[in-house]
Amino acid sequence: MKFLPVAVTGSKKSCSLSASAPAETSPSSDLCSPPLRALRNICLFSSSPSAMDNSGKEKEAMQLMAEADKKVKASGSFLGGMFGGNHKVEDACEIYARAANMFKMAKNWSEAINCLNQAIDIYTDMGRFTIAAKHHITIAEVYEAELVDIEKAIAHYEQAADYYKGEESNRYMS
């Protein structure tokens, strides 16, 4: 059986791996011992910068979602509606889209889709179907490429097409 000797160097904060060409070694050798493999996996997966970045991006996305939710609620109040409620709702949509992008970077697909659906609901209520269609396409791409749910991807592509058709017919009527 062939094992790839791996040298793990570094401290708790950072580690690096270097591999040499495959060599014949026994499973009990120090280079391939279970403790060393466990340490290597910890270095590769647990303390990788991308794992830490993802949790940071997710936290930021959650904060953006909370901010967007506040703006939507504030625009629904009587005073909010009288004094710039529509502007707050548009801001909320943009914040939902930013949160969705952060969730996508963190590979939290369900939350990204949730944020985009929130924005779609608001945009359709406002009659802004072109932007809603773009978000449907983004959701469809996530379903197609990341979640491999072709039926849901098709449904979102079709909804986007319907929104584009509706916008096109509105242009010719006015």
Cβ(120)–Cβ(135) below 8 Å: yes
Say what the pLDDT of residue 53 is: 66
Count of CB atoms within 10 A of residue 151's CB?
7
99: which strand partners?
Answer: none
Tokens found for residue 37: 């493999």
Q: Measured between alpha carbons, how far is 1 from 35 in angstroms, rounded to an integer?
A: 19
Count of CB atoms within 10 A of residue 66's CB?
12
Question: Residue 46: CB partners within 8 Å, gap ≥ 6?
Answer: none
Q: Which CATH architecture has domain 50-173?
A: Alpha Horseshoe (1.25)
Count of CB atoms within 10 A of residue 144's CB?
16
Say what the pLDDT of residue 153 is: 97
Comma-separated ranges of CATH 1.25.40.10 domains in the chain = 50-173
Interval 87-107 mean pLDDT = 93
pLDDT over 90, % of the chain: 45
Cβ(43)–Cβ(8) below 8 Å: yes
Q: pLDDT, tens digit, for every residue of 25-39? A: 344 434 444 544 444
Whether the predicted pLDDT of 10 surpasses 50: no
Say what the pLDDT of residue 95 is: 94
Interval 61-87 mean pLDDT = 73
Q: Computed from CA positions of residues 128, 131, 132, 133, in that sequence, does the dihedral angle turn out positive or negative?
A: positive
Hunting for tokens 């000797």 — which residue is that? 5
